[in-house]
Chains A and B, each alone.
Chain A
Amino acid sequence: MSTHSDGHDEPVDENLPARDDLYANPGLPEHHWRPTDVDPKAERRAERQVATLFVLSAICTVLFVVAYFSVGKDDTVIGLGAQNVSLGLALSGALLFIGIGIIQWARKLMGDHEIVEYRHPASSSEEDRAATVEALQLGLEESGIGRRPLVRNSLLGAVGLVGVTAIVPLWDLGPTNAKVTKEQPYPGAGLEHTVWDQGMRVVRDVVGTPIKPSDLQIGDLVNAEPEALFNGGEDGEPLEGVALQVGKSKGAVVVVRMEPEQITPGKGRENWSVDGIVCYSKICTHVGCPISLYERTTHHLLCPCHQSTFDLADSARVVFGPAARPLPQLPLAVDDEGYLVAQSDFTEPVGPSYWERG
């Protein structure tokens, strides 16, 4: 059963059989005439159908233009924006009728004889390939690339190296973490810092009002932010732009109140809570989604992105899901006026892990 090798180097697998046809190839099936081929009436009918479809398309285009200039922004139809629906349906009709018309034309009226074309192997002829290889070798020979390793290697080195000129300028795409941390272009810059600082008030997000312990009932959870977001700018203005976005992305916290005896404080964190009020980073340690789903009976906080679950009564330990680190805890205290403040910045980086985080 061996097939002959036709000049290729690769051994032809002897186990592969050639196809043995059990039946003679019956050849192409007989062509059947369509009604439109033999019946002039059917032919004219098909012609009219196709033309009608094209006319319908033209009508839809007109409707599109009419809708564009006549349907108002606030009009609605079956609860949907009338403008979108009318423009969309008109466009859809204008296109679909052309498409259906052309295909109808092709199916009913264009010739429907199947024809046969012969294939050629994907490869070129043996002579062509031999000639190409010869030309290639001649060219290489004349270039002397094989004989002059010094030229070749230095060229390869130079070309390889020239790519560096495209890569190095990418360095200025942005400041690195080290640079940002050193220069502090905005408060709390760098992965290991946030805008939180000693004595900074914990304020409600959106409105920015400070929080007194007595404002919180047992079981309450408040989404909070550092006060600096609201007054950390020049002259006590709110932060804006990048400073605000970065401040939010690392400074957002949740403040929860529970029965003090339910809290299992972490080592060295015994005085980080105030009357059963604890504060954790809202940024998931998995890939950084803000966490918001709190289950009051279990003190569990669930991340809506990938369902990592943290136990806020137990130093935000991971109880479920793909996160590997507990949420960083913000040490709390109360200032002279009785409002909740941070004792310091977070003692560890917030958000997702990274290589240098340790």
Chain B
Amino acid sequence: MDTTKVANTNGTAAATGGKPNRAAAVATWADERLGIASMAKKNLRKVFPDHWSFMLGEIALWSFVVLLLTGVFLTLWFTPSMGEVQYNGTYEQLRGVHMSEAYASSLKISFDVRGGLLMRQMHHWAAMLFIASMMVHLLRVFFTGAFRKPRELNWVIGCLLLILGTLEGFTGYSLPDDLLSGTGVRAADGFIKASPVIGTYMSFLLFGGEFPGDSIIPRLYTVHVLLIPGLLLALIAAHMLLLVYHKHTQWPGPGRTEKNVVGFPMLPVYAAKAGGFFFIVFGVTAFMGALLSINPVWKYGPYDPSKVTAGSQPDWYMGWPDGALRIMPGLETHIWGFTISWNIMLPILILPVVSFLFVLMLPFLDAWITGDKREHHLLERPRNAPTRTALMVALMTWYGLFWVAGGNDIIAIKLHSSINEITYFLRAAVLIGPVLAFVITRRWCISLQRKDNETLLHGYETGIIMRSAEGGYSERHLPLPESKAYTLTARDRDPVVNGHDEGTDANGLPAPGGGRFAGLRHRVRTVWYSDNVQKPTVEELEDGHHHAEHEHELQAGDEGHAADGHQFDGHHLVEDESLRGH
């Protein structure tokens, strides 16, 4: 069928109507006042490549919009005050109980405002989605090498978004002033007090006097609804602008190169897909808010500094420093009348900051190690950067084990095991686990690289079992289709690390411009690339194909035998026999 005649959804001519063109009129009106045509010209049909993993950041973006919308709704009823009131609302169990206005208004939103609980639960679920999708998006960007030049600064902005999102989450779930969140705020006060020299000053200024005081909720409220959202908005805008300026990365494939970007145009396809996806994220959040209870503050009761519930835990994204805090041995130094609380400072003040800075610096570290100063727009499969991939998996393992430690009490209860033993185990595991994960991931990646080369050189397994005339069985391999072979080989070779230190030349003399850390860099780079499998050379490829053709010929023909173990054992005449192969 000649499809060109029937296809009409891909029209190339402009639509013509009886009336003058509306869109053009509006565009003219706007351009005469704003002069936006020259900018819009480039961007209306801007190309975005398609891949499911590019959607992760979009989830983060849209859940942030959901947070803004539901958050505005919540502010209409929430009273950020610690003034003491006696509750006399709908929720029977707490009637007559003294509580803060913040808690009472949270109850009001949950029970007396129609749709209020829905907004609260959607807000909380969207927050979880926001942070989770940012984390997974970060992993995607790292594993595919999308952070490399020229996108390092966007990585930095993304990291800032993640840390600000986390703080936004903490300040947000502290606002209802319930027993659980109050316990979290109290622990935070303990962290602040553990800061050397200025700890108590910071605590007293933040809380407006002695903990808990009556200032912390209104102050957290300002931070939560004004300060951090403002920063988040500005950084998200910068993140998106840089994304547009750099143009999105793409996976290698037929027709896709470092110099181009292939995909659907912004208008209409991408705008429709992204816009539609916003409604889907919003709808899923509403679905969760409808059916999945989250943070039922009425069950916890109002904050009372003399009470606590067993199994108190922060929201999941605060879980890993909490886990570190749990498994840290109780070290404190008392010197010259002062106290240094290592048991709090190390896990909660130093560890998260150092980890965050490390993640923030990863693109620069990677560039320093690899010495790669080129721009990269084609993504790399995780297996093709084994050490880099292994580094992130080690970090994930580290994070995961700390996170598990944050639930050591729950694990002990559920598994009927000793909390002490779980804690001792995790103390060792956070040190050993990442190393194991690193080694395993690296070897795994290298094996996958081998597998790729195997397929390139010897073809893919067809699943067809051939039986030769002699009764031998073999699986037929066929060469990859060219587009697949092209995609598999569309990657760089790793640089050759010379046998000599970089700081010196081949003769052992100091090389110019080596830099102070050249020796260290050379050693790290050697490890970074060692054992990596390179894609085949042209010769290897020709060799492999030649070999495969030969094999097919032999399999197809009648001549030749498979060695069956008896033919050439000296008991038979072999003059007329020819062995398959050589």
Contact = CB atoms under 8 A, between A and B. Distances in A.
Contacts of A307: 326, 408-409, 419, 423
Interface string A9-53: 011110111011111111111000110111110010000000000
Interface stretch (B114-122, B131-139, B389-397, B441-449): B114-122
A92 interface: yes
B19 interface: no
Given A38-B7, A241-B214, A304 B308 contact: yes
B305 A173 contact: no
B314 to A, nearest CB: 10
A116 B306 contact: no
Given A248-B304, A248-B305, A307-B409, A117 B261 contact: yes
Interface stretch (B278-286, B459-467, B547-555, B571-579): B278-286
Interface in A146-170: 170
Contact of B284 (A25, A92, A116, A189): A92
B311 interface: yes
Contacts of A356: 200, 337-339
Interface in A44-88: 68, 73, 80-81, 83-85, 87-88
Contacts of B246: 122
Interface stretch (A107-115, A127-135, A213-221, A266-274): A107-115
Contact of B312 (A17, A305, A318): A305
Interface stretch (A94-102, A136-144, A255-263, A337-345): A94-102
Interface residues of B, number: 142
Contacts of A251: 306
Contacts of A287: 186-187, 189-191, 194, 325, 344
B9 interface: yes
Interface in B282-305: 282-284, 286-287, 289-291, 293, 304-305
B279 A102 contact: yes
Contacts of A291: 308
Contacts of A201: none
Given A20-B493, A176-B201, A304 B283 contact: no
A323 interface: yes
A324 B210 contact: no
A288 B326 contact: no
Given A83-B114, A99-B283, A27 B255 contact: yes
Nearest to A170: B205
Contacts of B344: 286-287, 322, 352-353
Interface in B1-49: 1, 3, 6-11, 45-47
- Most A CB contacts (10 A, CB to CB) among B215, B277, B338, B344 go to B344
Contact of A191 (B200, B212, B275, B293): B200
B324 to A, nearest CB: 9
Given A33-B3, A249-B305, A102 B276 contact: yes
A254 to B, nearest CB: 10
B259 A119 contact: yes
Given A110-B272, A176-B201, A307-B423, A17 B493 contact: yes
B54 interface: no
Interface in B147-180: 149-150
16 contacts: A23-B486, A38-B1, A87-B118, A89-B290, A103-B272, A114-B264, A176-B205, A177-B210, A180-B210, A245-B305, A249-B210, A292-B308, A307-B409, A324-B341, A353-B339, A355-B199
Given A17-B493, A88-B122, A180-B209, 17 more contacts: A73-B114, A91-B118, A102-B275, A105-B276, A121-B150, A122-B375, A174-B204, A174-B205, A240-B84, A241-B84, A249-B211, A287-B187, A289-B312, A290-B307, A305-B308, A324-B332, A356-B338
Which A-B residue pairs are the 7 nearest by beta carbons? A88-B290, A287-B190, A99-B279, A102-B276, A96-B283, A249-B305, A28-B255
